[in-house]
Structure 1
Amino acid sequence: MPLDIIINSIAIAGLILVLFLYRMSKKSTIATKNPKMKSTINTGTFAGIGEASEPSPKLRNPKDVPALSEDFTSFELLEEIADEKQRKLFESATSLKKPHPLLMSLTRNINDPKELMDIIKNDPELVVKVIKVANSSLFALRKSITTINHAIVYLGVLQAKNIAMQFALESSAEFVTNEQKQAYHKIWKASFLASSIGLLIAKDLKLENSAELSTRCLLDYLGDISLLTAKPKIAKYYLNHSSYFARVRGIQKELGTNSAIMGTSFAKNAELPQEIIDSISASMLPLVDKLKDSELLSQEQQSVVVFSYYVSRITDLIVFERTMDTINLEEISFAESRCESFFYSQAQIEHYGLGRINGTLRKPRFKDDVNAIIEKLGLDS
């Protein structure tokens, strides 16, 4: 082969390599004030997720990233009992009304309708409540359901189990003011919507543990129920359209605790599985980007926490903040949501290999399914 052809070939190959390396260096980096935001992709995550994240064109323009508030940059998340005031509140949480005896059984991985029916039928009140929800406008039945067996078959094991679990949690709480009751009603809807959104995303991504993820999203609101039961005055944070960060910061300032601490206390008192206790304990760590520092959770468990955290934050936008009357997010990002609770989101979802969630959010069918649930929940009622 002539020497000039060889030289030209080498030059062309070198140019292609330079262009490729340049494109790689431009991928998925958000211009922010925090150096931790550079993305690191880890594909060793829980079953079904492992492909590289979808980069978002919107995030490549620094102008799309809002300025952070001083409150957020100086915020410190409490992770344990800090003072005597907080200790007393923690002790009050463990002395709340005894948890429902079926709660632990309902947190198990249940796939068989008969197994679930055998659990629920032990509490007639729980049976009545599940049948009542099955007959509500939420499911738009043409013919009434009159038996728990029919309800489980119609709703599906996971949906029926999560509804029963919500009522089991409700029976463990006591509300004395109208504001408490109204706030709990919103939390109930939020936990239902979060578990539904989590299930839709998990199924779209073909995850093997979709049922577990749905239940974890529901349990992310356990701490809110515990807080609301212990201190009626915090109902205002669920009724006045506060953002998630404003709610966390305000409650910590007033009470010296937060929903992760209180939820962990409740879960221990209810003798829930240790894996769920550890997950609830770490549930707020994505807010301050400390999840990777957790020594309690494996990489796979951390992935579950990140998944449920962002599903719950999307739900908060709809139920509590009402920045969305319908699901219209195109991606999980700070630039898209304009909420501090999403500040570390791109780096985190890429680190845990969850970027494909953005593809699910953009699908018209997914949006239609979520919006149908939102409409039936009647968030204004």
Structure 2
Amino acid sequence: MNKIEELYNNLGKIEDLPAFPAIAFEVIKLTRDPDTTSRNLEDVIKKDPNLVSQILKMANSSLYGLSREITSLNHAINLLGFVQVENIVMISVILSSVRKLPLHKKFNRDKFLEHSFGCGVTAKIISNILNLNFSSAEFSGGVIHDIGKVLLDLYAPECLDLILENAYNKGISFIESEMELYGVNHSMLGAKLLSIWGLPEEIIDIAENHHSPLNAHNKLLVSAVHVADLLTYSEGIGFGGNYAKFTLEEDDGWQFLIQEANLKEEFDLAYFTFKLYEEIDNAKQLYFEES
């Protein structure tokens, strides 16, 4: 048994395994409960000053163009809506948690976060353009899809170095390099971690199948994140160790999206690129302003 297999098999027994913040998990459960009120969310969120700050910052951003300042958390929650509140909480806890971890010196934390965040935003853009309704799962799942790489960096940094070196030397993807060397990959590790955390099944589905969307339970949702992952790489947003070349038009996930969304053949892929940069720039002002 190699070290990555050992890590996967014993993941639940690791004493210092990162924990998903309880407050974020509670917010996710509340936002998906039809009986939840804004007061219920306020009671939970106000326990974390950082989340309160992020939500008020979003509510007072130029995206909403209000003439007066929003100072009430409850008002901000009602203005933004539960979906956007969940998005803010998810990205805030991921950014905060990853930055606090003692990551390996060869693991570029900022580039990893930039890629993860870019994938979430791009998945949201795809969802909006294609009029798909995923109730924010595409954003949350996009942000967290590569969390298994953090586990590699924490518990098997020497293996991570070999995976990256092999991928670079052979011009292959990170996951191809993992499977070639160890037979276990970051998608498997990430899905197991999210299961231990007790996150929603749709988020686990994204982590487990974002490289093989046609194997997913929700093929459309995971295909959107899969394509977002590819577009984020192609536009140079962050870095996750992928050196493989690809043609989007020939990708199975992209073809599935086209089929399910009834896209025309003359669909303008350049529009995705335009919206990608526009929305990334807007979002960075909100989420990375103080990073």
The question of 1:265 aligning with 2:184 is answered: no
The question of 1:285 aligning with 2:212 is answered: yes
Corresponding letter in the other structure for 1:259: H
Corresponding letter in the other structure for 1:361: L
Structure 1 residues 249 and 193: CA distance shift in structure 2, 3 A: same
Q: Matched residues in 2 for 1:136 and 1:152: separation?
A: 14
- Residue pair 2:118, 2:280 contacting (<8 A) in 1 also: yes
Structure 1 residues 307 and 226: CA distance shift in structure 2, 3 A: same
Could you tell me which residue of structure 2 aligns to residue 356 of structure 1? 263
Which sections of structure 1, spanning at least 5 residues, go unmatched? 1-82, 323-336
Structure 1 residues 277 and 177: CA distance shift in structure 2, 3 A: closer
Q: CA deviation at 1:141?
A: 9.8
Q: CA deviation at 1:132?
A: 6.2
Question: RMSD of aligned C-alpha atoms?
Answer: 4.5
Structure 1 residues 352 and 194: CA distance shift in structure 2, 3 A: same
Q: Matched residues in 2 for 1:374 and 1:141: separation?
A: 22
Larger radius of gyration: 1
1:297-308 aligned at under 5 Å gives the runs: 297=217, 301-308=218-225
- Residue pair 1:194, 1:312 contacting (<8 A) in 2 also: yes
Q: Matched residues in 1 for 2:115 and 2:69: separation?
A: 26
Structure 1 residues 177 and 264: CA distance shift in structure 2, 3 A: closer
Aligned sequence identity (%): 22
Q: Matched residues in 2 for 1:136 and 1:93: separation?
A: 41
Q: Secondary structure at the match of 2:31?
A: coil
Q: CA deviation at 1:122?
A: 3.1
Structure 1 residues 143 and 166: CA distance shift in structure 2, 3 A: same
Could you tell me which residue of structure 2 aligns to residue 97 of structure 1? 18
Q: Matched residues in 1 for 2:162 and 2:211: separation?
A: 20
Q: CA deviation at 1:119?
A: 3.3
Q: Matched residues in 1 for 2:150 and 2:249: separation?
A: 23
The question of 1:250 aligning with 2:177 is answered: yes
Q: Deviations over 1:334-379 (max 9, x none)?
A: xxx952787533784268524629736344xx54442223345389
Structure 1 residues 251 and 307: CA distance shift in structure 2, 3 A: same
Q: CA deviation at 1:214?
A: 3.0
Q: CA deviation at 1:101?
A: 1.1
TM-score by length of 2: 0.68
Q: Which has the higher contact order (CA 8 A, sep 6+)?
A: 1
Q: Matched residues in 2 for 1:84 and 1:139: separation?
A: 52
TM-score by length of 1: 0.55
Structure 1 residues 274 and 203: CA distance shift in structure 2, 3 A: closer
Corresponding letter in the other structure for 2:18: K
Structure 1 residue runs of 4 or more that deviate by more than 6 Å after TM superposition:
132-145, 235-238, 241-244
The question of 1:159 aligning with 2:84 is answered: yes
Could you tell me which residue of structure 2 aligns to residue 189 of structure 1? 114
Q: Deviations over 1:290-309 (max 9, x none)?
A: x35x6xx2xxx122221221
Structure 1 residues 97 and 338: CA distance shift in structure 2, 3 A: closer
- Residue pair 1:89, 1:230 contacting (<8 A) in 2 also: yes
Could you tell me which residue of structure 2 aligns to residue 122 of structure 1? 47
Q: Secondary structure at the match of 2:233?
A: helix
- Residue pair 1:93, 1:226 contacting (<8 A) in 2 also: no
Could you tell me which residue of structure 2 aligns to residue 175 of structure 1? 101
Q: Secondary structure at the match of 2:22?
A: coil
Which sections of structure 2, spanning at least 5 residues, go unmatched? none
Q: Matched residues in 2 for 1:100 and 1:350: separation?
A: 33
Q: Matched residues in 1 for 2:161 and 2:75: separation?
A: 36
Q: CA deviation at 1:135?
A: 7.5
Could you tell me which residue of structure 2 aligns to residue 317 of structure 1? 234
Corresponding letter in the other structure for 1:344: D
The question of 1:220 aligning with 2:220 is answered: no
Q: CA deviation at 1:202?
A: 1.9
- Residue pair 1:179, 1:235 contacting (<8 A) in 2 also: no
Structure 1 residues 369 and 209: CA distance shift in structure 2, 3 A: same
- Residue pair 2:223, 2:257 contacting (<8 A) in 1 also: no
Q: Deviations over 1:168-215 (max 9, x none)?
A: 3355555225747x7333333333332322223222322233533333
